[in-house]
């Protein structure tokens, strides 16, 4: 594979090359995301093709596609031969939809609008933070409600991330302390809920999320063999949450500021059966000054959703006033700094 080239890395020379490559991230990210969104890697799975051959298959203009592919050559995602044919490299192969470990859903779901656009205003947000309400007019969730295809890609990307989390839970032999009726609050297609129901065979489940987020749930739950044990509930967890013995909030509480997070926890408390619990899974911020991937996720939450990552103590401060006490803290940190915090209501 040809050596990856860097416009700004070259401009800044040997000493500044790393900074230059960081500055170029906007280009590398969007070149890869555009290839994935257009489905170009899937077309190249069978062998080299010219831009003229690919263009009608993906609904693109041949000239513009050729220029995109030439840039992708510079970034090592495709190669080009003397006849103008493009072929996938080992890295570009991961943008196909049909390979193990595919990055296609992440490339499309996490780097398209509106999340991508939010990073263009990072300096303004830091200078003069304004509350971001993802459920309000013009917010992320309104966008996804109006753009179901983007919503599906985002849900698929989240599902992939949750599937990695689930694999780590399985590796650790994790089993929840509570069972009974498990309500997954904002659980999308049900990746985590399926695992919990398999871990607790006598439990039933409720999957609560926006209608567009639940679109892929029936097929996924059926494939996991738990569809007959799950009730799908389209709804808004800021307004109402179904009753249950265990309310699971995974990759969701961090989407919200403290005011909205308290509202979600309060709704869980009101819907909790006697002695019920809450399980929160997020990337926890470290207590000390050490660098952490959780700080990078915290920045995404601030810009795109108005939320935040939190320390363990901050989670306890959120849930304590609603009557919840932390009873178990399970680190699942082989891949990301995930923590499973289990609370009981006493």
What's the confidence (pLDDT) of residue 3? Answer: 60
CATH of 7-101, one of 3.40.50.1820, 3.10.100.10, 1.10.10.10, 1.10.3720.10: 1.10.10.10
pLDDT of 249 over the 80 cut: yes
Per-residue pLDDT of 10-65, as tens digits, reads 888 877 888 888 888 889 999 999 999 999 999 999 999 999 999 999 999 999 99
Give the start-to-end residue ranges of the domains of the chain. Answer: 7-101, 164-345
Say how many CA atoms lie within 13 Å of 284 toward its Cβ.
20
Question: In what helix (H) or strand (E) does residue 282 lie, and over which residues does it extend?
Answer: strand 272-283
pLDDT of 89 over the 90 cut: yes
Alpha-carbon gap, residue 237 to 186, rounded angstroms: 7
Per-residue pLDDT of 116-172, as tens digits, reads 888 888 898 888 877 777 878 878 888 888 998 998 888 888 888 999 999 999 999
Q: Give every CB contact of residue 218 below 8 A, 6+ residues apart in sequence.
A: 227, 232
CATH of 164-345, one of 2.60.120.10, 3.40.640.10, 1.10.3660.10, 3.40.50.150: 3.40.50.150
Q: Per mean pLDDT, which range of 39-48, 199-208, 285-294, 321-330 is the poorest?
A: 285-294
Q: Do domains 7-101 and 164-345 have the same CATH topology?
A: no
Measured CA distances, 167 to 42, 75, 201, 290 (Å):
27, 31, 18, 26
Alpha-carbon gap, residue 323 to 191, rounded angstroms: 28
| Tokens matching residue 345 | 């209501």
What's the confidence (pLDDT) of residue 1? Answer: 41
pLDDT of 240 over the 90 cut: yes
* Cβ pair 147, 170 in contact under 8 A: no
Rounded to 10 degrees, the C-alpha dihedral 151/308/270/206 comes to: 30
Rounded to 10 degrees, the C-alpha dihedral 95/98/102/108 comes to: 60
DSSP label of 203:
-
Per-residue pLDDT of 98-119, as tens digits, reads 999 899 999 999 888 888 888 8
Nearest C-alpha neighbor of 112 from the set 155, 74, 72, 77: 155
Q: Give every CB contact of residue 213 below 8 A, 6+ residues apart in sequence.
A: 144, 151, 155, 186, 188, 189
Strand partners, 205: 182, 230
Predicted model pTM: 0.87
pLDDT band at 2 (very low <50, low <70, confident <90, very high): very low
| Tokens matching residue 57 | 């298959």
Q: What pairing do the DSSP bridges indicate for beta strands 181-185 and 85-88?
A: unpaired
Per-residue pLDDT of 191-229, as tens digits, reads 999 999 999 999 999 999 999 889 889 999 999 999 999
Per-residue pLDDT of 295-319, as tens digits, reads 999 999 998 888 999 999 999 999 9
Phi, psi of 249 (to 5 degrees): -125, 95
* Average per-residue pLDDT for the chain: 92
Which residue's structure tokens are 């265990």? Answer: 246
């Amino acid at each position: 594979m040809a050596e990856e080239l860097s416009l700004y890395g070259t401009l800044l020379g040997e000493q500044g090359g790393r900074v230059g490559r960081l500055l170029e991230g906007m280009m590398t990210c969007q070149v890869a995301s555009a290839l994935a969104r257009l489905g170009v890697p899937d077309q190249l799975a069978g062998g080299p093709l010219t831009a003229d051959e690919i263009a009608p298959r993906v609904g693109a203009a041949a000239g513009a596609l050729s220029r995109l592919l030439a840039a992708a050559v510079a970034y090592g995602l495709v190669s080009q031969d003397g006849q103008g044919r493009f072929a996938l490299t080992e890295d570009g192969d991961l943008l196909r939809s049909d390979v193990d470990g595919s990055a296609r859903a992440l490339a499309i779901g996490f780097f398209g609008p509106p999340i991508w656009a939010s990073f263009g205003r990072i300096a303004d947000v830091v200078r003069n933070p304004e509350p971001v309400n993802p459920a309000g007019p013009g917010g992320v969730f309104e966008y996804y409600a109006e753009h179901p295809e983007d919503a599906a890609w985002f849900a698929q990307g989240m599902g992939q991330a949750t599937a990695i989390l689930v694999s780590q839970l399985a590796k650790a032999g994790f089993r929840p302390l509570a069972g009974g009726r498990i309500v997954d609050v904002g659980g999308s297609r049900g990746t985590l809920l399926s695992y919990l129901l398999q871990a607790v065979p006598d439990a039933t489940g409720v999957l609560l999320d926006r209608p567009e987020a639940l679109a892929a749930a029936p097929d996924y739950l059926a494939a996991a063999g738990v569809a007959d044990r799950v009730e799908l509930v389209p709804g808004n967890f800021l307004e109402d949450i179904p009753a249950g013995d265990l309310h699971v909030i995974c990759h969701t509480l961090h989407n919200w500021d403290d005011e909205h997070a308290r509202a979600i926890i309060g709704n869980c408390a009101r819907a909790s059966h006697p002695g019920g619990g809450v399980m929160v899974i997020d990337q926890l911020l470290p207590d000390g000054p050490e660098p952490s991937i959780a700080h990078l996720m915290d920045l995404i939450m601030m810009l795109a959703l108005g939320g935040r990552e939190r320390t363990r103590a901050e989670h306890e401060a959120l849930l304590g006033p609603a009557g919840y006490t932390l009873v178990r803290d399970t680190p699942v940190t082989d891949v990301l700094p995930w923590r499973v915090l289990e609370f009981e209501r006493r």
